[in-house]
Every structure is written in C-alpha cells, then in structure tokens.
Amino acid sequence: MDDLFGQDIKLDQVGQAMVAANGELLLTEGAGTGVQDIRLRLFTPLGELFYDQGFGSLIHEWIKEENSQANRSAFEAEAERRVQTDPRVVPGSAGCRIQAWNETGLTARVSWQFIGENHPYNLVVGFDADKGERVIKDVDPRTGL
C-alpha cells in the first residue's frame, strides 16, 4: 500500500521540514503521506504554487465572512471538493462539517477515506480571524478532537 502513497519530506504543523537529531530530513510513510498532502492542499491558497496553479483551496476566503447557511454550505463544499481531488481518496467519501463559527473565526472537521484503508481520516481546520492564524491538525483518535 506504500506505493499508493509514496514518500515525502515530513512537515510539522506549521509546514516546516522536520529534521532528525543527526541532521537528516524525516520522511512520511504510508497514509501519513496522504494526510500530509491533504493538509497542504487545504492550507495552501489556490493558485499560490507557480508550478501547479490547481493545487490548494479557497477555504481561507471564509475567515471573516458572516456565519450564514450559504457561507457554511459553501465552505463545506469547497473543503470536500479539494479533498476529493486527491486520487487516493475513495470517491464520495470526503465530508466537512462546521463545528463552530463566530466573530473570531471558525472550526470545521474534514473527513475522508483512502483507497485500501478500512477507516476514515479526519482533520480539524481552524481559523482565528483576530490572530490571523490558520490551523489544520490531525484529530486525536482517543478524544475525537
């Protein structure tokens, strides 16, 4: 199954390359590579990469928008659409649900299933409008948060 996911340089929560104590770059393996790729796609503004204008998402555009049903639906649809573009994701398995949205930001849970994997993967996407921070982190399987 590793052939499906390949390897990549392992990144920390803020997108910096992780380095071992001996100075070598750490690498991702298996589904961890796919999760990192999806995190990067959601975190990167669409069109920001000069070599791949189709990579990224538009979810950052909702940071300061009003909490309306139309905006909630549009955010969720954008996140689902961008996750579904990964060829390793089971067609139709991507989902997104807003968990909180107020004047200071929003939090959403994004889920999907990889081909050949028997369980869903989840990320929590958060925006803090006051601090200008974007956070995308793995869901802790013990707590669901």
Q: Which domain holds residue 8?
A: 2-138
In angstroms, how far is the first alpha carbon of the chain from the final one? 27
Residue 145 scores a pLDDT above 70: no
| Structural domain count of the chain | 1
Task: Judge whether 145 lies within some domain.
Answer: no
Residue 144 scores a pLDDT above 60: no
Q: What is the CATH number of the domain that holds 18?
A: 3.10.450.40
At 1 the pLDDT is 47
Q: 144 or 4: which carries more pLDDT confidence? A: 4
Phi, psi (degrees; rounded to nearest 5) at 68: -125, 160
At 63 the pLDDT is 80
How is residue 25 annotated by DSSP? B
Task: Judge whether 144 lies within some domain.
Answer: no
Task: Judge whether 120 lies within some domain.
Answer: yes
